[in-house]
Amino acid sequence: MADPVAEAMSRHPTPEGLVYQYGTAGFRTKSEVLDSVMARCGLIAALRSRALKGKWVGVMITASHNPPEDNGVKIVEPMGNMLQEEWEILATAISNKQTPEEVSQYYQEIAEKYRIDLSSPARAVVARDTRASGARLLAAFLDGLTKGAGAEVKDYGFLTTPQLHYMVRCLNTEGTPDAYGTPTEKGYYEKFGAAFKNALRGKKPSGSLTVDCANGVGGPKLAELIKHLPPKEEALEIFVVNDNVIKPESLNVECGADFVKTNQRAPPSSKAGPGDRCCSLDGDADRVVYYFKDSNNMFHLLDGDRIATLVASFLGDLVRQSGLADKVTIGVVQTAYANGAATEYVEKTLKLKVDCTPTGVKYLHHAAEKLDVGVYFEANGHGTVIFSPDTLDTIAKYEPRSPGQKDALDVLRAVIDLINQAVGDALSDFLLVEVVLAHKSWGAQEWLSTYTDLPNRLLKVIVADRKIFQTTDAERKLVKPDGLQKSIDAEVQKVRQGRSFARASGTEDAVRVYAEAATRGEADDLARKVAELVKAAGSA
């Protein structure tokens, strides 16, 4: 009898000499070498669904902020969270099997190990961003999923990554007391549109907001979402720029969150005037950073650290005002990339607990899940707020004792609905920021003045083998190569308020060097010196 798995795999042979790795963002590389990986991810998605008694798992075909010629794939757990680490290892292993027969054998081995009944139902949800290679890679994935593994599929076409996570969570909670929403695009827009209106409670953000969509899938999706928001006269006027999805080769080119964060300047296409609030999404709309130019035409970035501190301070106010302060605690989760001034502001001014984790949303998300209310944003603008089930229950059942408590509680409940708790979602995140600014009666300048960032510089050093750079202490210290950390520490000692670390990139053969110090010159100098040390160690 023919082996459907081997047969499906034979149509997508493995390129020779390549080693694939399921990294922090799934598999991600040049799109032309991903067909075999996509077919195998179809098998893994089916196995994962069967291991979870036929629950829907998600698959997103995207390379986020990477250049247009790249693509990637990541698998999503039933509640919209990241794939379990144990299964990342299985996905990596199956993607590096050489022959169709080896893949089929490994597929059977996984089934035996996890006692998976291969004849039981398996279900997967799939969506993709607007890259030109998406249709071809989707076909390879479906080949593995349906023809190879005999699973059922629901294809949502083009979605932002957070919309895909939302669909997965909705499908798996449908008909339960924890139903997250309606698993359709319209359901997504209606849920977040209504929550935005309820959270504003008649307050209006000052001025307008210009949203740069990185010429990615966020453009058309934001245009749809705007139709479900209150009219601009009542709430917020939004100008959409860089929404050209007709030319996939323009994706992330001189625009988008990564461009703004890395270059510390507005996209060249920006026409925003002094004081105008702007934000940029990335290619799959799961990151957002804010920025503006002041009256002297000076650029100011309001990145993920700023969003985290703004949101944490607002949630702290709401919890106190609604009378829940002794029942609910709020914590902020950061990575080593968080600006030292932001950490100090959270601990000393907001008086909230700060946890530090390795870089990568899965680590932040995991740490935030352990808190009553966990606020996490990477400096790159990727993040969300997670409320524990007990905390949601406490807030839902709490009886306010005064009109003031009731008002605060109503806003808090609407804000919970406005936050996409499945994953960081640029569209819901920027609506949340606008709600906070409206309630505080702040513009971008007032937000900026809450604390002063220490000048910092982020550099990328291309290396032959990133795996030789190994870290500890939430990636803040290198343990390998030997002696490198000692040399970095010696450079840090030479500058005021100095801090620097180097870590291997999760997505490319490079080491990222971060440095901060009391002045711009010292920060730049420190980053350059540490980059030179890394380069020397990488070529030794």
**Binding annotation for substrate:** 378-380, 503-507, 512
Task: Indicate if 64 belongs to the active site.
Answer: yes
- Are 336 and 305 contacting, i.e. CB atoms less than 8 angstroms apart? no
- The tally of CA atoms less than 13 A away on the side-chain side of residue 192 is 25
> Which residue in 255, 411, 384, 238 sits closest to 319, CA to CA?
411
Other Cβ atoms less than 10 A from the Cβ of 492: the count is 19
What are the structure tokens assigned to 299, written together? Answer: 């650029």
Binding-site residue positions for Mg(2+): 64, 282, 284, 286
Residues 6+ apart with CB under 8 A from 184: none
385: helix, strand or coil: strand
- Are 9 and 103 contacting, i.e. CB atoms less than 8 angstroms apart? yes
What are the structure tokens assigned to 472, written together? Answer: 């500890």
- Are 128 and 156 contacting, i.e. CB atoms less than 8 angstroms apart? no
**DSSP secondary structure, 205-266, as one string:** -SSEEEEE-TTSTHHHHHHHHHTTSPPTTTS-EEEEES---S-GGGTTTT-SHHHHHHHTS-
Query: Out of 64, 133, 313, 322, which one is annotated catalytic?
Result: 64
Binding-site residue positions: 64, 282, 284, 286, 378-380, 503-507, 512
**DSSP secondary structure, 90-112, as one string:** HHHHHHT--SHHHHHHHHHHHHH
> Which residue in 424, 411, 375, 384 sits closest to 160, CA to CA?
424
What are the structure tokens assigned to 319, written together? Answer: 């919890």
62: helix, strand or coil: coil
Residues 6+ apart with CB under 8 A from 496: 517, 518, 519, 522
State the catalytic residues. Answer: 64
